[in-house]
Structure 1
Amino acid sequence: MFTAAVIVGNPKPQSRTRDAAERLAAALGVTATTIEVSELGAGLLRFGDPVVASAVAAVQDADLVIAASPTYKGTYTGLLKLFLDQFPTATGLAGQVGVPLMLGGGPAHALAPELTLKPVLVELGAVCPAQGLYQLDSKYAEEGALDKWVDAWAPAIHASLRASLREDRSR
């Protein structure tokens, strides 16, 4: 029914960050396309690169955007920032539902998704109806690690997705 784009801002391909984001997409019941930003290469350093433009278009075609990053120095990676800078301000994710997800080594940075990543998604035009998800990188894959967050926030995410779909159909 709904599609998702998982943006993985971890410099290491096939990372725990990717796994956590894909688990989140599955828990929300959406079909996901994953963009490994690390695979986009030097094209991230300039605007107009065709490979990067294709990845941006893939994200913009999704209903739900899960932006995922490990926590570096209390915030998301510069790699993810380079990719998000490719989207136009205010309209780059307009009409899309966004979910910030970050993994970290301890609870000290639990607010990082809310304080650092969510504002960027909103600046790009996404609606973020849920609290950002922060998971310990050592425990994210444990049975039930997502359950509490999904129970609390999936209804708001799905309601926002349905509203976005209705808005698209009325245009």
Structure 2
Amino acid sequence: MRSIVVVSGNPRPASKTTAVATALAEAIAADSPAQVSVIELADLGPAVLEWGNQDAAAQRERAAAADLLVVATPSYKGSYTGLLKAFFDGYGPTSLQGVPAVAVTVAASPAHAHITGEFHLVPLLHEVGAETPLGALGVLETEAADANARMARVGSWVDQRRPLVRAVWAATRGTGVSA
């Protein structure tokens, strides 16, 4: 079974950021069955800063083995969180080579929702070798906070990219990971 791994860079576990990213992963998985699992970086905390930390290394390996990676962050000062940056600093320049990824941002303003994903998070993913053929999804905090609005925003985004989502699935390794 294919795997989608969500990496939530929100320093608060069970956040709106995680809810949006998980909803996106599940919407993508609806077309082609996949196991969805979540890495809450808030649960790792300072471990992402410790060189050689086994827990952080295991989560990085899990993310690298995904058939699709959904990387989510709230927009802090117009960029991604330091926690997310520290996690990805643990990868080399080709560590995620061939892994398709979607950048997801949750922000208070429409400008930050777009800018953080497309101009900050996507380049970070490219720096470690990930591919971003589906682009980025920016969601407003007000949409993220309301389950119906969140599902409508995510559903619309996936519907607009459905042929591309299918093409990405067709090109993935399909090896899957265990949760």
Q: 1:123 to 1:161 in 2, by over 3 A?
A: farther
Deviations 1:102-152 (A, max 9, x none): 001121212220000001111111111112000011113314222221112
* Larger helix percent: 2
Aligned to 1:3: 3
The C-alpha deviation readout for 1:70-106, integer Å capped at 9, x for no partner, is 00000110110000111111x2111111000000112
Match of 1:42? Answer: 46
Residue 67 of structure 1 aligns to a residue in which SS? strand
Judge conservation of contact 2:78–2:115 (CA < 8 Å) in 1.
Answer: no
Q: Would the aligned equivalents of 1:97 and 1:161 in 2 still touch at CA under 8 Å?
A: no
Q: Unpaired runs of 5+ in structure 1?
A: none
CA distance in 2, matches of 1:148, 1:41: 33
1:58-77 superposed matches below 5 A: 58-77=62-81
- Aligned partner letter, 1:153: R
TM-superposed CA distance for 1:41, in Å, is: 2.6
TM-score (norm 1): 0.90
Task: Report what 1:54 is aligned to.
Answer: 58
Identify which range, 126-135 or 143-152, moves more after superposition: 143-152
For 1:2 and 1:152, the matched residues in 2 are separated by 22
Q: How much identity, in percent, do the aligned residues show?
A: 36
8 Å CA contact 1:97–1:157 kept in 2: the answer is no
- Provide structure 2 residue ranges, at least 5 long, that are not aligned to the other structure: none
Hey, what's the Cα distance between the residues in 2 that align with 1:55 and 1:69? 17
Say yes or no: does 1:147 pair with 2:155. yes
Q: Which has the higher contact order (CA 8 A, sep 6+)?
A: 2
Equivalent position amino acid for 2:111 in 1: A
Aligned length: 166
- Structure 2 equivalent of residue 84 of structure 1: 88
* Per-residue CA distance 1:4-55 (angstroms, 9 max, x = gap): 1100000111100001000000110132110011111322112210010111
2:21 corresponds in structure 1 to 21
Query: Would the aligned equivalents of 2:9 and 2:73 in 1 still touch at CA under 8 Å?
Result: yes
Other-structure match for 1:158: 166
Over 3 Å off, 4+ runs: none
TM-score by length of 2: 0.87
The one-letter amino acid of 2:83's match is L
- What is the Cα-based RMSD across aligned positions, in Å? 1.6
Going from structure 1 to structure 2, the CA distance change for 1:17 and 1:131 (only over 3 Å counts) comes to same
For 1:81, give the aligned amino acid: K
SS in 2 for 1:145: helix
**Stretch moving more, 141-150 or 93-102:** 141-150
